[in-house]
Amino acid sequence: MISDKDLLSRQQARQLAQKAKDASLILADFSQSQIDTVIDAVAEAADKEAEILAKMAHEETTYGKTSDKIIKNLFASRDVYKFIRPLRTVGIIGEDSQRKIVMVAEPVGVVAAILPSTNPTSTAIYKVLISLKGRNTVVISPHPAARKCICHAADVMARAAVAAGAPDGVITCMTDVSREGTHELMQDRNVSVILATGGMGIVRLAYSCGKPAFGVGPGNVPALIERSANIPKAVRDVVTGTTFDNGTLCSSEQSIVCESSIKDQVMEELHKLKAHFLNEDEARSVAKIVVTPTFVVNPGVVGKSAIYIAKLAGIQVPQDTTVLIAPTKGVGKEYPLSIEKLSPILALYDAADFNSALDICIRLVRFGGMGHTMSIHSTNDELIRQAGIRVPVFRIVVNSPSTHGSVGLTTGLDPAMTLGCGAVGGNITSDNISPLHLINIKRVAYEIRSVQEINYSEGFRAPESPRAARRTVTPTSSSLEDKIAGFLEQRGFRHAAHQSPAPAIPSKAAEPESPALSFGQHKIYPVQPPKASVIINPQVKAPGNPHQNPQVIGPVDFVCEDDVRKALTEKKVIAIHKKTIITPAAKDLASNQNLFKKID
């Protein structure tokens, strides 16, 4: 009997990863219809449990507000679900008719989902749904401070998935939780990809495991209010965003930056919304209990109310205070409240003009929040676009609370609880993570020119500039019609007279049962599977029960990891001899599988 907590956690991680791997081999054979039946059931089960899960999360972590956690749970079970439900993630998912390429989806396998304490149950629902949609199984490692509520969420969804036809082991959750156990899970050979949400320590650990990982970075989101903005709405949006669940989302507003000419109006609106302005002594007191000596936010104030934080700092504030405002003159370690605070505390800056205000936003982001999010409130589209070009973040939320807009609740962004920060934020992607990040795409490529047609003897010649072409060519009525058709085609509208001829691709394999969505030359199929002609070689007999009489491949001289994966999937045995070379990765993957048959 193992009594050491870390060893128990590591052992459980290995067991759950193996169970998930076994289930993934079954789930990989599911049709689109079967997968969608499973996520329908999981989303419905999570939706019914949303209020209970929110109460459990608040009671266990003491972070945020139960009412807002209900909204986050429903956002995951409804908005995320509605967005991913129509996506094609099985079989042929699209084609490029011009380049004659057919795209086929493949699951990645087992997803290790590392969950935070700030948004525990909503992130669990979200990560399970996007993993299952890609035909992947998922092993959850909960934050120790949110273990009970996350495990309950996982259990609710797992029971619903199995009842809908999914294999046992499709959703599992570690109950013996430790940092060592989480590391063991992420490193396990059966895990294919890591979805890590949490502090930078756990995210860096995920990236160090030597396999694909999606992590996130800190937010430190500035909210820029420009003079043309609807100031009452802008201020209301900022306060709504920073007080939502007491600021536990990384994309919640952390600072207000406004032009000096409207500062008095901004402050007046903040007063109306029950904000308390800190004087210099109060700001220092708040900074001492919010920012640790290592210059990170104190976990004891994360997700707490403005009244709670003020009391902790020894400051008297009205009992209806919604947010603490700290007028601040600079950015950096000399100004502690310029960091990400994850609580309803806002630094307030004013600047002479828009460019100066934008410079402050850039400094705030560079100080802690590279690649994440900013918000801008303005009616001047040119200035909005300047912010989009200059500020090093990948989500610019316009005229909406940053908290809600960044996750796709009030904007057209992909609904998600994991927001990539791109290379500048140390992440592999700048996207809102969706099921499309959890599938691999194989491409069937048809010849579009013969080898004999290739001729490099003419030398290099740059293509003609489109601007130059417009200056030298006088459009006729027919060419103008072509330009209009091309413009509409780029936006998904295609006139029958301007449709490109179909490629020389077998029609049954490429033609879906329902029309594809056209985007220029590209077609993206909706969720209904396409018709496909399956050619069976009559000379090859299907193997019988693979456990009784498995089909043997070989003997072979070389075995790589892909060969092992294919044999496991097809339930075959690989015949090897004394001189067969087996790569270390293949040998590791095949261990304890009885996959190799030695022959003389």
Rg of the chain (C-alpha set): 28
Q: What is the pLDDT of residue 496?
A: 46
Lowest mean pLDDT among 156-165, 317-326, 417-426: 417-426
Select the highest-mean-pLDDT range: 133-137, 536-540, 590-594. 133-137
Q: List, for residues 32-77, the tens digit of each pLDDT value.
A: 999 999 999 999 999 999 999 999 999 999 999 999 999 999 999 9
Tell me: pLDDT of 524 over 60: no
Other Cβ atoms less than 10 A from the Cβ of 527: the count is: 17
The contacts of residue 276 (CB under 8 Å, 6+ apart) are 306, 310, 317, 318, 321, 323, 324, 325
Amino acid at 10: R
Q: What is the pLDDT of residue 593?
A: 79
- Establish how many alpha carbons lie within 13 A of residue 356's alpha carbon, considering only the half-sphere containing its beta carbon: 12
Q: What is the pLDDT of residue 279?
A: 97
The contacts of residue 7 (CB under 8 Å, 6+ apart) are none
Q: What is the mean pLDDT of the chain?
A: 87
Angle at 530 between CA 527 and CA 531, to 5 degrees: 150
Predicted confidence band at 466 (pLDDT cuts at 50, 70, 90)? low
DSSP 468-510: HHHHH-PPPHHHHHHHHHHHHHHTT---GGGPPPPPSS-HHHH
Report whether 392 contacts 362 (CB < 8 A): yes
Domains 5-215+436-441 and 221-414 fall in the same CATH topology: no
Other Cβ atoms less than 10 A from the Cβ of 491: the count is: 9
Predicted confidence band at 542 (pLDDT cuts at 50, 70, 90)? very low
Domain boundaries, the chain: 5-215+436-441, 221-414, 552-598
Percent of the chain residues topping a pLDDT of 90: 71
Other Cβ atoms less than 10 A from the Cβ of 207: the count is: 18
Tell me: pLDDT of 311 over 50: yes
Q: List, for residues 279-293, the tens digit of each pLDDT value.
A: 999 999 999 999 999
**CA dist 144 to 100, 114, 185, 222, 347, Å?**
50, 11, 15, 31, 31
Retrieve residue 387's tokens.
Answer: 């912010």
Retrieve residue 226's tokens.
Answer: 């420009």
Q: What is the pLDDT of residue 500?
A: 44
Q: State how far the Cα of 480 lies from the Cα of 484, in Å rounded to an integer.
A: 6
For residue 148, the SS3 value is helix
Tell me: pLDDT of 117 over 60: yes
Mean pLDDT of 380-404: 97
Lowest mean pLDDT among 97-106, 325-334, 517-526: 517-526
**CA dist 383 to 227, 356, 487, Å?**
11, 12, 26
Retrieve residue 259's tokens.
Answer: 């032009």
Mean pLDDT of 305-320: 97
Predicted confidence band at 545 (pLDDT cuts at 50, 70, 90)? very low
Q: Which residues are catalytic?
A: 250
Q: What is the pLDDT of residue 516?
A: 45
Report whether 325 contacts 276 (CB < 8 A): yes
Q: What is the pLDDT of residue 536?
A: 28
Q: List, for residues 403-433, the tens digit of each pLDDT value.
A: 999 999 999 999 999 999 999 998 999 999 9
Cα torsion angle, 38, 116, 371, 362, sign: positive
Domain 221-414 is of which CATH architecture?
A: 3-Layer(aba) Sandwich (3.40)
Higher local confidence (pLDDT), 480 or 565: 565
Return the CATH class of domain 5-215+436-441.
alpha beta
Strand partners, 414: none
